[in-house]
């Protein structure tokens, strides 16, 4: 008996309990051969109808996305050398098929005929938008190219995919290759108990079987749950410097050097844009985004820079004065490894609480309960655990079902909450396991329901305690859950526009950043807190301090994001003779108040723009933050203490922003909810930067 490849199993959910690296290549080759035959059949007919063109495209694309998507997902959460090799060997074949699909001239011509026909007028608005976007995407993927130009474009596509994979692998390997092994109790002086416990656990996992939080040794890594609190609390300045320098030089030398990859990626993107008739890759990128053009992005970034630069300068001066008053010898020349430490000391003094005081109030189970309660309050959905009902890729992964009172189950999601530096990439993200679709419904069901992956890198349970979250980790969980809500609560039945599909990239962060605002709402935060030992909710006094600290160093935090955004645009819109690190230094002169070190190579680990979807699009975080702050202002105007008004506004948000997905332009969707175009006023008010300031020129 021949066992079926689990990657090709037609089960509703992936068989993560059976999938191994050995399955990847045979599964994809078998699938690609079948899809190639199906594509040829569609091309032979190519009748200008929805049923003959768009529905087959949805079927073909979905089958590829589901299988290849599972492999990509495992690359991010259960990475191994065997999986990498299989992925890299088959990736060119997947890219080649994807390009063939996107560049199909018979399908493109059929779609054009459909758009010009009377049948197009009979389609609903979502269907019409799907046809228009399929035509646009085909044009942006080279359908109009011929001969040598098309061959070159397609080679570039394959090369860029391989380079992005290598870039990401280098960052993962470089991150886990470095660790500080501390054995002297004085070296961990000042570190919170949670970090000592985490670092002792890391030491045990690295072979130090006798490691304990009290006696060490303590293993400090570049993974966020270790790196961030160490930089904020370690009293040994020399150790902070060592860790910081290791962090900013990840993946910049030896076999893991991403520097040459960056230059190659940028060169290939420029060539790709030129082949399509664009003067820069930024223009190509913006052709499918909400922002009209590069000048429109520049105008927003400059407005926010004007509001934040002087504030950031003042915040750095304030930090120097505070460090001097505390007797710090480095006060006169604070370095990058000093800023997090002294910023945390000043925050503790000004707001009279320590971040470590908050952790006991945010055990993950209680935070989830509160988060799900908010979802029910705002959007009328119930979320219940369904652990054991779906295969998972790690024992820590949870599975949940989403239900609506009158409609039953409407979605589901996986939650992979904890950091695993050896196999899981850093950061947090949401991705789709499968999308909502009427066409692809299982037999006997009206719809295929959406399923999401929700991935975080929070502090894991340690020494019998539950996972205790920092407030920043609570915000991150809310952020990613916002993405998941947009994927799961869609009302669009066409798979090519449901959830976040076809939502402009610079609007994708709207729902996620909107959800973060609820972390500063009294009822919400009290409702998701419960001391893991006593059960007591977060004291209102602490909440008041948290909300007051929301604007702490807001200028510095905003300017940091603006620096990344300006640098991303410069690299993709104004390529010059400088190498990328010289460009970084030049952009930093105008957009930082503490210049990067000469050896800073953070670009070598900037996965967002070199291995993610944010190339010439990092500005999207600020663009969408304007949208999200303005959207939350609708709740403030309705009255956050008026329960009926909150529920009514939440219902309106669900029926527009969350429901419509990519079935309508993002600006149209926003106006449907808000009744007007977005404004920066709410964002500047929330960040305490509403007073106009004059930014230094040059």
Q: CA nearest 400: which of 418, 375, 379, 378?
A: 375
Residue position matching structure tokens 């529920």: 647
Check residue 363 and report its DSSP letter. Answer: B
> Do the beta carbons of residue 213 and residue 197 sit within 8 Å?
yes
> Do the beta carbons of residue 232 and residue 346 sit within 8 Å?
no
Q: Give phi and psi for 451, each to the nearest 5.
A: -135, 135
Both tokens of 277, joined, read 């008739």
User: 480 catalytic, yes or no?
Assistant: yes
Provide the pairing of β-strand 408-418 with 429-434: unpaired
Q: CA nearest 189: which of 233, 135, 154, 247?
A: 233
Q: Which helix (H) or strand (E) holds 262?
A: helix 259-275
Q: CA nearest 280: which of 503, 508, 576?
A: 576
Q: CA Rg, the chain, in Å?
A: 25
Q: Which helix (H) or strand (E) holds 179?
A: strand 179-182
Please tell me the chain's helix, strand, coil percentages from 3-state DSSP, rounded to the nearest 5.
60, 5, 30
Both tokens of 225, joined, read 């749950």
Return the number of other C-beta atoms located less than 10 Å from residue 283's C-beta.
17
Q: Which helix (H) or strand (E) holds 307?
A: helix 294-325
Provide the pairing of β-strand 451-458 with 408-418: parallel
Both tokens of 537, joined, read 């909710």
What does the alpha-carbon distance between residue 431 and residue 81 come to, in Å, rounded to a whole number? 23
Q: Which helix (H) or strand (E) holds 120?
A: helix 118-122
**Rounded to the nearest 10 degrees, how much is the dihedral formed by the CA atoms of 24, 420, 343, 606?**
-20
The single residue of 58, 432, 480, 607 carrying the catalytic annotation is: 480
Contacts of 191 (CB under 8 A, 6+ apart): 199, 218, 229, 230, 233, 234
Q: Which helix (H) or strand (E) holds 180?
A: strand 179-182
Contacts of 587 (CB under 8 A, 6+ apart): 563, 566, 567, 570
Q: How far is CA 302 from CA 100, 184, 248, in A?
A: 40, 48, 26
Q: CA nearest 574: which of 606, 618, 613, 616?
A: 616
> Do the beta carbons of residue 628 and residue 517 sit within 8 Å?
yes
SS (H, E, C) 37-99: HHHHHHHHHCCCCHHHHHHHHHHHHHHHHHHHHHHHHHHHHCCCHHHHHHHHHHHHHHHHHHH
Q: CA nearest 83: which of 421, 424, 375?
A: 424
Return the number of other C-beta atoms located less than 10 Å from residue 595's C-beta.
11
What does the alpha-carbon distance between residue 205 and residue 226 come to, in Å, rounded to a whole number? 14
- Packed helices 294-325 and 620-638: angle between N→C axes, nearest 10 degrees: 80
Return the number of other C-beta atoms located less than 10 Å from residue 219's C-beta.
22
Catalytic positions, written as ranges: 480
């Amino acid at each position: 008996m021949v066992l079926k490849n689990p990657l090709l199993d037609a089960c509703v959910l992936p068989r993560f309990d059976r999938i191994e690296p050995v399955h990847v290549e045979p599964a994809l080759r078998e699938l690609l051969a079948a899809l190639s035959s199906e594509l040829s059949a569609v091309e032979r007919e190519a009748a200008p109808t929805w049923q003959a063109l768009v529905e087959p495209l949805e079927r073909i694309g979905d089958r590829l996305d589901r299988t290849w998507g599972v492999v990509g997902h495992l690359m991010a959460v259960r990475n191994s050398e065997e999986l990498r090799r299989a992925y890299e060997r088959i990736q060119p074949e997947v890219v080649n098929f994807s390009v063939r699909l996107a560049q199909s001239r018979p399908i493109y011509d059929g779609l054009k005929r459909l758009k010009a026909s009377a049948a197009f007028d009979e389609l609903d608005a979502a269907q019409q938008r799907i046809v228009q976007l399929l035509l646009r995407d085909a044009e942006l993927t080279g359908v109009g190219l011929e001969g040598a130009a098309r061959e070159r474009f397609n080679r570039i596509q394959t090369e860029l995919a391989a380079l992005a994979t290598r870039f990401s692998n280098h960052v993962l390997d470089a991150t886990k290759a470095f660790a500080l092994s501390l054995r002297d109790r004085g070296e961990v002086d000042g570190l919170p108990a949670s970090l000592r416990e985490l670092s002792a656990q890391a030491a045990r996992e690295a072979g130090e079987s006798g490691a304990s939080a009290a006696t060490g040794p303590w293993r400090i890594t570049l993974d966020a749950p270790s790196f961030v609190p160490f930089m904020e609390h370690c009293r040994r300045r020399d150790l902070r410097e060592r860790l910081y320098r290791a962090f900013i030089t990840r993946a910049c030398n030896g076999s893991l050097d991403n520097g040459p990859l960056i230059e190659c990626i940028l060169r290939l993107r420029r060539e790709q844009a030129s082949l399509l008739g664009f003067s820069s890759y930024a223009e190509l990128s913006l052709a499918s985004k909400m922002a009209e053009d590069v000048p429109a992005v520049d105008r927003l970034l400059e407005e926010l820079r004007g509001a934040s630069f002087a504030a950031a300068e003042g915040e750095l001066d304030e930090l120097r004065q505070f460090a001097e008053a505390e007797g710090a010898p480095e006060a006169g020349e604070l370095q990058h490894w000093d800023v997090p430490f002294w910023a945390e000391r000043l925050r503790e003094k000004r707001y009279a609480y320590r971040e470590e005081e908050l952790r006991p109030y945010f055990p993950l189970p209680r935070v989830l309960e509160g988060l799900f309660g908010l979802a029910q309050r705002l959007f009328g959905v119930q979320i219940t655990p369904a652990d054991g009902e779906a295969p998972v890729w790690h024992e820590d992964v949870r599975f949940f079902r989403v239900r609506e009172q009158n409609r039953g189950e409407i979605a589901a999601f996986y939650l992979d909450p904890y950091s695993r530096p050896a196999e899981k990439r850093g950061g947090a993200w949401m991705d789709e396991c499968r999308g909502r679709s009427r066409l692809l419904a299982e037999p006997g069901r009206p719809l295929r329901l959406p399923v999401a992956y929700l991935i975080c890198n929070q502090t894991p349970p340690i020494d019998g305690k539950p996972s205790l979250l920092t407030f920043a980790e609570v915000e991150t969980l809310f952020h990613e859950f916002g993405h998941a809500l947009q994927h799961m609560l869609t009302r669009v039945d066409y798979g090519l526009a449901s959830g976040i599909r076809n939502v402009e990239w610079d609007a994708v962060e709207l729902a996620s950043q909107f959800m973060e605002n609820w972390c500063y709402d009294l009822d919400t935060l009290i409702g998701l807190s419960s001391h893991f030992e006593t059960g007591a909710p977060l004291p209102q006094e602490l909440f008041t301090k948290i909300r007051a600290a929301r604007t702490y160093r807001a200028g510095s935090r905003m300017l940091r994001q603006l620096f990344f955004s300006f640098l991303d645009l410069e690299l993709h819109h104004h390529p010059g003779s400088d190498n990328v690190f010289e460009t970084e230094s030049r952009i930093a002169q105008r957009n930082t108040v503490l210049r990067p070190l000469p050896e800073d190579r953070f670009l070598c680990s900037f996965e967002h723009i070199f291995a993610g979807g944010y190339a010439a699009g990092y500005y999207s975080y600020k663009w969408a933050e304007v949208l999200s702050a303005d959207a939350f202002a609708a709740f403030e105007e309705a009255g956050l203490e008026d329960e009926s008004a909150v529920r009514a506004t939440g219902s309106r948000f669900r029926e527009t922003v969350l429901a419509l997905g990519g079935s309508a332009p993002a600006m149209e969707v926003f106006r449907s909810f808000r009744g007007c175009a977005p404004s920066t006023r709410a964002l500047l008010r929330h960040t305490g930067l509403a007073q106009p300031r004059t930014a230094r020129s040059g």
